[in-house]
Chains A and B, each alone.
Chain A
Amino acid sequence: MLKSKTFVKKTRSGGVMKVVREHYLRDDIWCGSEVCTECKQESTVLQKDACMESSLCSYPHYLVPDTNVVLHQIDILEDPVICNVIILQTVLQEVRHRSAPVYKRLKDIIHEKEKHFYTFTNEHHRDTFIEREPGESANDRNDRAIRVAVKWYSQHLKTFESDTDGLKVVLLTNDQGNKQKAQDNGLLVYKCEEYVKSLIANPELVDRLALSSDDKSEITSSKVLFPEHFPLSRIQTGIKSGSFLQGTFRASRDNYLEATVFVQGEGEDSTEVLIQGLQNLNRAVHQDVVAVQLLPRSEWVAPSSVVLQDEGTGKDDEDAEEEEGNLRTAAAEAARKPTGKVVGVIKRNWRPFCGMLNVSQIKESTRHLFTPADRRIPRIRIETRQASTLAGQRIMVAIDGWPKDSRYPNGHFVRSLGGAGEKETEEEVLLLEHDVPHQAFSQAVLSFLPKMPWAITPEDMMKREDLRPLTVCSVDPPGCTDIDDALHCRELENGNLEVGVHIADVSHFIRPGNALDKEAANRGTTVYLCGKRIDMVPELLSSNLCSLRSNVDRLAFSCIWEINHKAEILKTRFTKSVINSKASLTYAEAQMRIDDTNKNDDITKSLRGLNKLAKILKRQRIEKGALTLSSLEVRFHMDSETHDPIDLQTKELMETNSMVEEFMLLANISVAQKIYDEFPECALLRKHPAPPPSNYDILIKAAKSKEVEVHTDSAKALADSLDAAKVDGFPYFNTLLRILATRCMMQAVYFCSGMDSDFHHYGLASPIYTHFTSPIRRYADIIVHRLLAVAIGADTTYPDLMDKHKQSALCNNLNYRHKMSQYAQRASVAFHTQLFFKSRGILNEEGFILFVRKNAIIVLIPKFGLEGTVFFDSKDKVSPNIVFEEEIPGVSVPAPDTETPAKKQKLDR
């Protein structure tokens, strides 16, 4: 099998080194085609009748794209129309080298069976391997290798011509030289555009073509708008010498002419560089990694407090300049921040963006502007012939490039999501924008579900404690179908109480490493939207087998304490168990049972016991300095038919809410301690870092406006001063302060105990904390379950569980998904609020001012949980005479009645 070997020589930068590697050539690499009778392959990928109807190629054919086609036209390759494609190893390797995201997408396509993509290992094939000739560049060699492979294929397939009605191989390339050489060799070769345009059945595919470099020149005017980016080599030397800084570009949400670059310094410290003005932003897009150069100190500016949205239609550059002028305010010396300009982009972080098409005023024009839903992304110019159909639809667009003489980046249409304003479309948009994986579960994932009808087997019973006789019940919000926790409480003979928290045993069903587990790990969390739930695990598990419903036997992971009447924990134990919940109650039902003195059944007694203990536990916790913060959460009442919101109310909190919460916290803390003791290197924990003191500035300033003092030295001090902060005749003040305090906080994050030393949970005032109680909707809990199961000897470990680096990577994903799911949730609420107001017209409600900006105020309406920006000057109204004071901050209008917080009439949305 081993034919011969050749030596490949390589030199590496930084001390030239000769690397000698073996390269084996084989004669057992098959062509992968169905028609071939010569190759002894076990399974074939490429079909016999490869039919893509094209006016250029009337015969069945296989496509072979070259590297640049794959890199730039991956959207085309992803289209279901394109199938029977041969990806050469040369191409695959080059793609892997040049772009990780494209490589990943290409691999996904290759794995999809219906696409019939075949990878041909041409570099190791006896007949298709070529050596680099003297004087030939690596790229030229690869192009030649591709041509040789195509040649081999066409000759190979020719031998079966009799039974294939002329099956051929077509090379796709955009490189003129390559095309010419291929033609000279007698190969069938087309440009990607030519080929796509020739496809008969799918004219709309043309829009998905990325603009190639020679098209761009037509679009733009000769005027150069942006300074040239420096070449990478110069940027690298610049960064090394310290004259440039490298950081992540973050566009401002409020002002399209302003951005910050987040420069990660050594260790913990990081700095932010302010970028202002179109020229200085220099074509960087949100989330790009850029190099910045600091401006001389005299040109430093303060962040403007203006809210600016890009209204330009593409031609009015003068407007932009004018707006830029407005930004420059004579700020006090102290307020000025390090300011810089972008000199080069190190890594683009472009993804497909969702948004709307602004159809061009010129009727026949094929070039249109696209407005992304995310305000931090600039508008994109795209070329499409379907503008009239796409107007009023939500579409996805990918950026191809941003030439220096174009005001906007150029892009191409990817796909349409549906009509704007329609519920399904908008939901799709917000899921895509927040990167929430929401496709239906694949067959591979579903294959790991237990077979129905499912029952607890005797083997399961053997290994588990039988807790079915206990009076266990669950308390959840109304309409909850994924019940992952249940509780019980009973009196022991020695007078103490036994309290049990029973959590659905999801890790019993999801075994490590299988497709189901990988999918859940990727999704990370269940996302709750208004009227919709994006499950982390398939519904069979989330709403049936794992859900601790009443009066059925369910597997559980129990945490059982012996507690005395002073709520001191005497004993803790963990066990896998079987339970049978006696009732699933809502918070209100549970509350009613507790309050109803006539009821004296077991469930009610158990609830009362729990409630009593919970109150003591809560008091103890608050004494230790736990914070009670507030955020506005609204619930919609949905019309059962149309699923439109018909009413909304802010979430009500009952005693039973905090009762359940209290025991969940207790369980989480107990479990965290246990797994940390057992696995000090790889326990998955959750921490909440204390915020830096400067975060509290807005809170302190806001409190000062009402002459209230807030101490922020410690969590305890903050909790106490928040409790004391009350203003007569203004009952909502306290809640407002709590809302502001919430915004000062840091994000709580998952982390791996071996990678960090600070475990403290600031908000809960607990030295250690984790998530154990919601494995149906959070993946972190599944990991914690597995760790705990190993700790009590109920399960075995597996490699990834003990690998702190892998776990830390998992934590990063979970934190990201968690954050994104929260954003998606908020966006969903905001969308439903708009739907709600669409039919309401103008209402008058009480609102409070949260922040003051130079040309706008940000107003909160508690009744609807709504926050919005109110501009002082709009186009049709003359702005009132306003004096903006940076320091306080506040706005004073020469009229008497402005007061923060003042009553304000709320406008329609």
Chain B
Amino acid sequence: MAGLELLSDQGYRLDGRKATELRKLQARMGVFTQADGSAYLEQGNTKALAVVYGPHEMRGSRSRTLHDRAVINCQYSMATFSTAERKRRPHGDRKSTEMSLHLKQTFEAAVMTQLYPRSQIDIYVKILQSDGGNYSVCVNAATLAVIDAGIPMRDYVCACTVGFVDETPLADLCYAEESGGVSSLALALLPRGGQIALLQMDARLHQDHLETLIEAAMTACKGVSKVLDEVVRQHLQEASVLTGE
């Protein structure tokens, strides 16, 4: 039996999207009231919940305190029911630890930590359902949560994964595409300045193709940022109506 055909001759992908099209992106901000900031985000079938606490005083070991800026603490986890086969260990495995580190790096680049010396910001993200692009969905959800918490950022951080098939970059991979032997690249972008907050790729790719792939990823990230911006504005409007301003 032949493998899946990731891109048909007519230019359609497995789920009917074209190469540059993103999945349907929906989000809500302020889903919890206990936390300082929270957001829920769906990108196709990948669903994530992000919660932010802080900035607050350092907890735990004081030795980690930084004198000129805030410490960002990230924790990534996956619900046991998020994948087709039940996950044994929702967090703390190597993959999750790595993902937590990536998130931390991404947000250290975006959040204006120097405004809050000697304090700590906690970002918790949980994947409720996983269908590819977990990292980018987490980043996008966390951005909204950080904004909801009112923590100043240089810009939205938008992330997207792209893959490379038949000399064509595919935006926003779903699980079937990710597992179909595509060399995929994840990129987190500060869209206004076009700065890259994080770029990660662990597949093999010829260097000639790298530029086109990054180009495609940046375009996709800009598309994501537009949607996020809309969500934020919508949320603000609703909030301001409620407070009667």
Contacts and interface: CB of A to CB of B under 8 A. Distances in A.
B5 interface: yes
Contacts of A15: 85
Interface stretch (A119-127, A237-245, A564-572, A670-678): A119-127
Contact of B84 (A18, A96, A103, A799): A18
B13 to A, nearest CB: 9
A895 interface: no
A24 interface: yes
A19 B12 CA distance: 20
A424 B98 CA distance: 67
B212 to A, nearest CB: 12
Contacts of A97: 1-2
A799 B206 contact: yes
A107 B206 CA distance: 28
A22 B174 contact: yes
A22 B23 contact: yes
B3 to A, nearest CB: 10
A21 B174 contact: yes
A24 B15 contact: yes
Interface string A2-36: 10010000000001011111111110000000000
A1 B176 CA distance: 22
Nearest to B11: A121
Contact of A26 (B2, B14, B16): B16
A100 interface: yes
Nearest to A25: B16
B131 A123 contact: no
Contacts of A816: none
Contact of A124 (B5, B12, B85): B12
B8 interface: yes
Give the interface SS of chain A, mostly helix, strand, loop or mixed: mixed
A107 B44 CA distance: 31
A22 B206 contact: no
B62 interface: no
Contacts of B10: 89, 119, 121
Contacts of B24: 2, 5, 22
A110 interface: yes
Contact of A23 (B9, B16, B209): B16
Interface in A93-127: 93, 96-97, 100, 103, 107, 110, 119, 121, 123-124
A20 B45 contact: yes
Interface magnitude class on chain A? 20 to 34
B17 interface: yes
Contacts of A230: none
A871 interface: no
Nearest to A28: B18
B176 A21 contact: yes
B202 interface: no
Given A121-B8, A799-B208, A799-B209, A17 B85 contact: yes
A451 to B, nearest CB: 26
Contacts of B1: 97
B23 A96 contact: no
Interface string A171-200: 000000000000000000000000000000
B17 A96 contact: no
A17 B83 CA distance: 10
A798 interface: yes
Interface magnitude class on chain B? 20 to 34
Nearest to A15: B85
Contacts of A802: 206
Nearest to A103: B2
Interface string A454-495: 000000000000000000000000000000000000000000
A20 B44 CA distance: 11
A860 B10 CA distance: 58
A119 B23 contact: no
A180 B23 CA distance: 40
A5 B45 CA distance: 11
A124 B16 contact: yes
Contact of B9 (A5, A18, A107): A107
Interface string B56-82: 000000000000000000000000000
Contacts of B85: 15, 17
A110 B9 contact: yes
Contacts of A798: 206, 208
A100 B2 contact: yes
Contact of B2 (A19, A96, A121): A96
Interface in A21-76: 21-26
B208 A21 contact: no
Given A25-B16, A26-B16, A107-B9, A17 B84 contact: yes
Nearest to A96: B2
A22 B84 contact: no
A737 B14 CA distance: 62
A798 B45 CA distance: 36
A97 B16 CA distance: 19
Given A17-B84, A798-B206, A799-B206, A22 B9 contact: no
B174 A89 contact: no
User: Which one of B8, B174, B209 has the highest number of Cβ atoms from chain A below 10 Å of its Cβ?
Assistant: B8
Interface in A680-716: none
B86 to A, nearest CB: 11
A19 B17 contact: no
Given A97-B2, A802-B206, A123 B84 contact: no
A509 B112 CA distance: 56
Contacts of A24: 15-17
A93 B2 CA distance: 10
Contacts of B5: 93, 96
Nearest to B176: A21
Given A19-B84, A22-B44, A802-B206, A123 B16 contact: yes
Interface string B1-41: 11001001110101111000101100000000000000000
Contacts of B205: 799
A242 to B, nearest CB: 24
17 contacts: A2-B21, A5-B24, A15-B85, A17-B84, A21-B176, A22-B23, A22-B44, A93-B5, A96-B2, A97-B1, A97-B2, A110-B9, A121-B12, A121-B16, A124-B16, A798-B206, A799-B208
Question: Considering the complex of A and B, which 8 residue pairs feature the smallest CB-CB distances, nearest first?
Answer: A799-B206, A124-B16, A24-B16, A22-B15, A17-B84, A22-B44, A121-B10, A24-B15
Given A17-B85, A89-B10, 5 more contacts: A21-B14, A22-B44, A23-B16, A110-B9, A119-B8
